[in-house]
Amino acid sequence: MTKLLLEVREVSKRFGQTTVVDNISFSAQTGQTIGLLGPNGAGKSTTVNMICGLLQADSGHILIAGQPMAAGQHHVKKLLGLVSQDLALFEDLSARENLKLFGALYGLSGGHLQQRCDAVLELVSLQDRAKDKPSSFSGGMKRRLNIAAALLHDPQLLILDEPTVGIDPQSRNAIFDALEILKAQGRTLIYTSHYMEEVERLADHIVIIDHGKIIANESPAELVQRMPAQAALTVNLVSSMDEACLRHLIHQAGVQKVLTKDEGKSLEILLSASDQALPILNFIQQQNCQVSHFATAKTTLEDVFLTLTGRSLRD
C-alpha cells in the first residue's frame, strides 16, 4: 500500500515583517514525483530549505516517513538527498574521489562505499569518466555528478532544485533517464524547474506556490482541465473571412473564442477539446474560405501556470 513519505502541514516562514511562506500544506507519497512550481520570489526555495532542515519553520510541521524534520534529527536527514542549484564539487579531485569524500560524510566506507560509487556513476552515465576531474567536465556532466553525490546514501526522498539549468539537451535527457529509473525504483522526487515541459514529463502531481501561498495542488491533467479552452486551432486564409461567416464560426460547437489578426486573414480559434479542430477546419473550408496554412496546439501546463500566476515578469 502506498504511504505518505513527506508531509508539510500548515508551515509558515517569516523574515522580519515579511511572510515568505504562508501556512502551506501538501504531501508526497512513496514513489510519487511532485513538481514544485512558482515564479521568482514565490517561496519555493524557502520551502525546499525547510524540508531539508536548512531553515526552521516558524510554525507548522514537516514530517519525513512520519518523523519530524528538526534540528539534530540526523537520522531523518539521512532519508533525503538534495540536489541544489549550486554545484558542490571539488574540481581537482576525480569524479570517484568526489563521491568517496561525500560518501564518507554520510558514514559510508569500504566495499559498500565502492559499490554505491559504481551504482550512481552508472545511473548518471559517468562510469567511463570516473577517473577524470570535474574541471574537465561540461556543465551537464557536473550536474549529473552532483545528482550522483546526492544519491550515494540511497535516500528515499530526492529533492532537485533546478537540476537542468544551463545544460545541453543530451545531458538533460541523461538526467531525465536517470530520474525515470529512480521513479521506477519507487523513490519519491520533489522537482523544481522553470521548464514546464520537464515537469509535464516527470511529475505525477503539481504544487504551485505564489506569494507564499499554495494556489494549486493537483495532478497535471486536473490542472489543465481548469482552463476553459483545451486546444487552439490557428488558421491562415488567402483572403479575409466575411463578418457573416465569422459569426457562424463563433457559434459552432466547441468554439470558445475566436481571435482575428491581419484584417481577418489569420484566425486563432480556442476550442473546448482538441478533437474539435478537424470539424472546425472543415466548416471553414465549406464557407468557400481558402486555407493557406493551419496548425493545432493543446493547452499546456505553461498556459495554466501563466493563467494562475499572471504573465508579468517578476524579479
Q: What's the chain's Rg over C-alpha atoms?
A: 24
* 134 alpha carbon, distance to own chain's centre: 26
Can you give the pLDDT at residue 117? 96
Write out pLDDT tens, residues 272-301.
988 999 999 999 999 989 999 999 988 888
- Rounded Cα distance between 270 and 268, Å, is 7
Mean pLDDT of 107-120: 94
Residue 200 has pLDDT above 80, yes or no: yes
Can you give the pLDDT at residue 145? 95
CA dihedral sign, ordered 86, 88, 92, 95: negative
Q: What angle do CA 300, 302, 305 make, to 5 degrees?
A: 120
Can you give the pLDDT at residue 310? 84
Mean per-residue pLDDT over the chain, rounded: 91
| Structure letter (DSSP) for residue 255 | E
Q: Which is higher by pLDDT, 87 or 315?
A: 87
The domain defined by 4-219 folds into Rossmann fold (3.40.50)
Can you give the pLDDT at residue 126? 94
Is beta strand 291-298 parallel, antiparallel or unpaired with respect to 231-237? Answer: antiparallel
Residue 109 has pLDDT above 80, yes or no: yes
Residue 71 has pLDDT above 70, yes or no: no
Collect all residues with Cβ–Cβ distance below 8 Å to 210 and sequence separation of at least 6.
38, 39, 42, 308, 309
Can you give the pLDDT at residue 72? 67
Mean pLDDT of 157-186: 91
The segment with the largest mean pLDDT, out of 95-104, 191-200, 304-313, is: 95-104
pLDDT band at 315 (very low <50, low <70, confident <90, very high): low
The domain defined by 231-298 folds into Alpha-Beta Plaits (3.30.70)
Can you give the pLDDT at residue 73? 73
Q: Where are the domains of the chain?
A: 4-219, 231-298
